[in-house]
Amino acid sequence: MPAVKKPVVVALSGGVDSAVAALCLLRAGHAVEALHMTNWDDADEHCTAASDFADARQVAADLGIPLHHVNFAREYREQVFAGFLAEYRAGRTPNPDVACNRHIKFGAFLHHAERLGAEYIATGHYARVVHRGDRGYLYKAADADKDQTYFLHSVRSEALARTLFPLGELRKSAVRALAREYGLANHAKADSTGICFIGERPFRDFLAQYLVAEPGPILTLEGQTVGEHSGLPYYTIGQRHGLNIGGQANREQAAWFVAARDQERNALIVVQGHDHPALLSSGLAIGELHWINGEPGDLQAMGRVRLHVRLRHRQALVACELARDTREGVLQLQFPVPQRAATPGQYAVFYAGDECLGGGVILDTRSAA
């Protein structure tokens, strides 16, 4: 944190992480105010917005800090949710949390906090940031199991330069302990999971409100029909559960997994075996790239660079080589060891040591078969 104490506005969600982030800022001597965001305003039995706001108010009262409230539902629908639906319609599997961080939490929220007089914003993310001049450099959290840099890789450097991550050096167990010792009312509140605007509601029921999903055949690689799917958007690469494929004559009884979604035929392609070659990718095409502080030097100078990459949250880092493609704005990624269930629409996020350099969207995969 900055040596000179500054006015900080912390994003107070109502959860324990943001509450302890605010507590840490106060103990460090900052002038702290809190801002609670409402990003989804469809009220139903699955929506926790009202209870989350009530928890945030209680935390603010416990800490003795002012609490502001702002509704970003319109910005969220335009800048995050519209893209989420467009990706599903295109046959890809999006990750809206990445867009939410870039456009809402480190975009709209930052601008609103500045109007409240903040010199910095803070969140309860598990990540670290280093400030150098007007640039911010993103690093993995001390708690590797909770590290959230995967979801933060598309945040602009200028926004990171105005950001504090008070939990970056803490483990989750220590965060819970601090909340309990201080007597915060939400110290035992369960962590939120899944996509923020879906919450605990059934995923298929939610998507069915916005997408037309036609049932179609489930096919093997050889074209044999082995079942019927409910609609391609409801499945993702590597999925095992929910296929409802019964026993097949003259076939071993190994588990079935989704290998591909064929938009043209409205067909779900499946294979048997967790590590079937059709589930493994030797390389990827990556687009919509965002480098937090510019392309790596070797990529600029030689058109290729060796880094480590993460294809999903909490995945162990794996080695890769990136090289320029003939297509503008596209890079080819090569794995020395093929990777399982790489999914178009998801993100490849790049690291050099502990530093998160940025990432891009997986456009297509190259089978290891």
Q: 3-class SS at 301?
A: helix
Q: Say what angle helices 172-182 and 16-27 make with each other, to 10 degrees.
A: 70
- Pick the catalytic residue from 24, 100, 320, 356: 100
Supply the pLDDT for residue 188: 84
Predicted confidence pLDDT, tens digits, the chain (369 residues): 655 578 999 999 999 999 999 999 999 999 999 999 999 876 665 567 788 899 999 999 999 999 999 999 999 999 999 999 999 999 999 999 999 999 999 999 999 999 999 999 999 999 999 999 999 999 999 999 999 999 999 999 999 999 999 999 999 999 999 999 999 989 888 887 656 666 666 788 888 989 988 999 999 999 999 999 999 999 999 999 999 886 665 667 789 999 999 999 999 999 999 999 999 999 999 999 999 999 999 999 999 999 999 999 999 999 999 999 999 999 999 999 999 999 999 999 999 999 999 999 999 999 876
Token pair of 233 as six digits: 């958007």
**DSSP summary character for residue 294:** S
| Cβ–Cβ under 8 Å, residues 321 and 333 | yes
Q: Is 100 a catalytic residue?
A: yes
SS3 category, 160: helix
DSSP secondary structure of 57-91: HHHHHHHT--EEEEE-HHHHIIIIIHHHHHHHHTT
Which residues make beta-bridge pairs with 257? 271
- What pairs with residue 324 in β-bridges? 331
Helix intervals (H) in 244-309:
297-302
pLDDT at 27: 96
Active site residue 24: no
Task: Give CA separation, 182 vs 23, 27, 63, 101, 177, in Å.
Answer: 9, 12, 9, 29, 9
Domains of the chain, first to last: 7-182 (3.40.50.620), 212-274 (2.30.30.280), 278-367 (2.40.30.10)
**Would you state the pLDDT for residue 1?**
62
Whole-structure pTM value: 0.94
Name the strand (E) or helix (H) holding 290: strand 280-291
Secondary structure class of 96 (helix, strand, coil): helix
* Annotated catalytic residue within 24, 47, 196, 356: 196
Please give the pLDDT value at position 48. 74
Task: Tell me the one-letter amino acid at 325.
Answer: D
